[in-house]
Structure 1
Amino acid sequence: MIKKTLYFGNPAYLSLANGQLVIKLPEVEKQSNLPTVLKNSSITTLPIEDLGIIVLDNRQITLTHGLVTALMANCTVIISCDEHHLPFGLMLPMMSNTTFNERVRYQLEATLPLKKQLWQQTVKRKIENQAYLIGTRTSKSIAYMHVCADRVKSGDSDNQEALAAAYYWKNIFPDIPDFIRGQDGLPPNNLLNYGYSILRAVVARSLVISGLLPVMGIHHHNKYDAYCLADDIMEPYRPFVDQTVLDIMAKNEQIEELKKEIKRDLLSIPTVDVKIGGKRSPLMVAVAQTTASLAKCFSGESRKIAYPSFP
């Protein structure tokens, strides 16, 4: 089942009642002379179990603790945006799997050779997906990308990921020949940053559901990063965000500002179609298969992570 992504860009009162998210509008609630029937008609309710991600993008949004607890029990990700309206904070439950202790033990005991092999699979599929996107969206050759993918060794010791990335970012936006990928770079970096944040939340949520610790990566190990494993596992999924950004750029001349319509398209990333296990699947469902397969790799039941490709 695909969980819903909710975006709140205006002031709101969010609470819990009978297993439902209750949404009230402050401007309506503050009007004491307004008939109760009219106030009630402005209230929206949604089942908690249907929610996967909630994005909070306004300083005047109030949540009750009861609601936060219910969302965490459902493993619903809460994303908080900063003053620039970009995703800044991420809230997840500490555990959401009945065999959490066992799975975390397997994860912590994973050998270095295993982690290197898993990183090799990760980088190889990422480059293959990047190659597909260049080949279908530009007139540039993808031969070099395939060479990089074929040369990926255990642990990507030759750093083929970086070599492929240099070629990829130079060619994926033909109309921006001098494009440089960077967190604070010029557009469409703003779209990429936003999209990757949504993807990161989807992956982190799924890791917790699979009983894994997002902080313990197989490659990333920044001591300031609480989601190293999410940053690892999301790599082959990044090209699907890039595809969404290309689609947005094709229909919007102005991308300097993250307008409502652009955010709406970026928030649809969890529903983007991917191919995994030989079948077409929404990205959010595919990520669940990926993290479940990763847990099996840690436990010794499998040696291969299930990663997506383009349909």
Structure 2
Amino acid sequence: MIKKTLCFSNPAYLSLKNSQLVIRLPEVECCDNLSDSFKQQSERTIPIEDIGIVLLDNKRITITSSVLEALIENNSALITCDSKNMPIGLLLPLCSNTTQNERFRTQIEASLPLKKQLWQQTIKQKISNQAKILSIYTNADVGCMYAWVDKVRSGDPDNLEARAAAYYWKNIFSDIPNFVRGRDGEPPNNLLNYGYAILRAIVARSLVASGLLPTLGLHHHNKYNAYCLADDIMEPYRPYVDGLVSDIMLSTNDYSELTKDIKMKLLTIPVLDTMMGGRKSPLMIATQQTTASLYKCFNGEQRRILYPDL
């Protein structure tokens, strides 16, 4: 079942009643010119079990602890935004798998050679997907990208990921002179940042559902990063966000600001089509298959992690 992604960009009261998220709008309730019946009709309810991601993007949102508890029990990801409307916080369940302790131990005890092999698979798929994006949206020669895919070794000691990234970002937005990918860079970095934050939440949610610790990464190991494993696993999925951003740029002349329409398009990331094993599925389902396969790699059931092929 595809879970809903909810984004609240206006003031709202969020409460719980009969396992339903109740949404009330204070701007409607406080308006004396509206009838009581209209105010009641403006109230909306959504089953908690249908919700996968909730994004809070307004300073005047009130949410009850009952809603937080229900969302956590449903393994929903709750994202909060800062004053610049950029995702800044992520709330996830502490326990959402019946064999979590066993899975934590399996993950912690994974050998270094295994983690290096899994990182090799991750980078090979990331570069391959980046090459596909370049082929779709640009006229750049991608022969070098596929050559790098074949040369990635266990643990990527030659840092071919960085070499491919330099070539990729040089060509993906060729209409923008001297484009540099960076968190604080010029647009469309704002779109990429927003999209990657949504993607990170999706992957982190799937990791928790698979009984894994998002903190303990395969390659990323920054001691200040609570989502190292999520940052690892999302790498092959990033090109899907890049493709969506490219589509947005083609459909509008001004993407300097994250407008409501642009946000709505970026919030379709969970339902983007992916291909895995010859079968089409939404991105949110694909990440669940990826994280489930990662656990099987940790416990020795299989040797390859499943990633979508763009």
TM class by smaller structure: over 0.9
Match of 2:23 in 1: 23
**Aligned with 1:215: secondary structure?**
coil
**Per-residue CA shift, 1:26-46, capped at 9, x if unaligned?**
123345796543331110000
The aligned runs of 1:90-239 (5 Å cut-off) are: 90-239=90-239
Matched with 2:69 is 69
Whole-Å Cα distance in 1 between the matches of residues 265 and 28 of structure 2? Answer: 29
What secondary structure sits across from 2:197 in the alignment? helix
Of stretches 193-202 and 32-41 in structure 1, the one that deviates more from structure 2 is 32-41
Give the Cα–Cα distance (whole angstroms) in 1 for the partners of residues 113 and 177 of structure 2: 39
SS for the counterpart of 1:70 is helix
CA contact (8 A) 1:170 1:179 kept: yes
**What letter is aligned with 1:225?**
N
Aligned partners of 1:305 and 1:50: how far apart in 2?
Answer: 28
Whether the 8 Å contact between 1:81 and 1:87 is mirrored in structure 2 is: yes
2:80 and 2:47 map into 1 onto residues whose CA distance is: 21
User: Structure 1 129/33 Cα, relative in aligned 2: closer, same or farther at 3 Å?
Assistant: closer
Deviations 1:46-74 (A, max 9, x none): 00011010110000000000010000000
Aligned residue for 1:275, secondary structure, equals strand
TM-superposed CA distance for 1:82, in Å, is 0.3
Q: CA RMSD in A?
A: 1.1
| Cα distance in 2 between the residues matched to 1:255 and 1:197 | 18
- Helix, strand or coil at the partner of 1:7: strand
Residue 155 of structure 1 aligns to a residue in which SS?
coil
Once the two structures are superposed, residues 251-298 of structure 1 have per-residue CA deviations (whole angstroms, 9 ceiling, x without a partner) of 011010001110010000111101012111110010100000001011
TM-score, with structure 1 as normaliser: 0.98
User: 1:160-208 CA deviation, whole Å, 9 max, x = no partner?
Assistant: 0000000000001121131100000001100000000000000000000
2: CA distance between counterparts of 1:98 and 1:164?
40
In 2, Cα distance between the equivalents of 1:162 and 1:33? 59
Q: Distance in 1 between matches of 2:273 and 2:229?
A: 23
Query: Is the 1:97–1:211 Cα contact (8 Å) retained in structure 2?
Result: yes
Unaligned runs of at least 5 residues, structure 2? none
SS at match of 2:90: strand
Deviates more, 1:23-32 or 1:278-287: 23-32
Cα deviation digits, residues 52-100 of structure 1 (max 9, x gap):
1011000000000001000000011110000000001000011101111
Identity of aligned residues (%): 62
Look up the match of 1:88: 88
Q: Which amino acid in 2 is paired with 1:121?
A: Q
Question: What is the distance in 2 between the residues matched to 1:39 and 1:174?
Answer: 50
Letter in 2 for 1:42: S
| Aligned partners of 1:216 and 1:228 also within 8 Å | yes
Partner Cα distance (2:168, 2:27) in 1: 48
Other-structure match for 2:294: 294
CA separation in 1, counterparts of 2:171 and 2:35? 59
Cα contact 1:170–1:177 (8 A) shared by 2: no
Aligned to 2:294, the other structure's residue is in SS state helix
> Structure 2-normalised TM-score?
0.98
Q: How does 1:3-22 map to 2 (within 5 A)?
A: 3-22=3-22
Specify every segment of 5 or more residues in structure 1 that has no aligned partner in the other structure, as ranges.
none
Checking the alignment, whether the CA contact within 8 Å between 1:135 and 1:142 is kept in structure 2 is yes
Assess if the C-alpha contact under 8 Å between 1:171 and 1:177 holds in 2.
no
Most deviating of 174-183 and 6-15? 174-183
Please tell me whether the aligned partners of residues 72 and 93 of structure 1 are also in contact (alpha carbons under 8 angstroms): yes
CA distance in 1, matches of 2:287, 2:194: 18
2:258 alignment partner in structure 1? 258
Matched with 2:46 is 46
The answer to whether the 8 A contact 1:276-1:306 is kept is yes
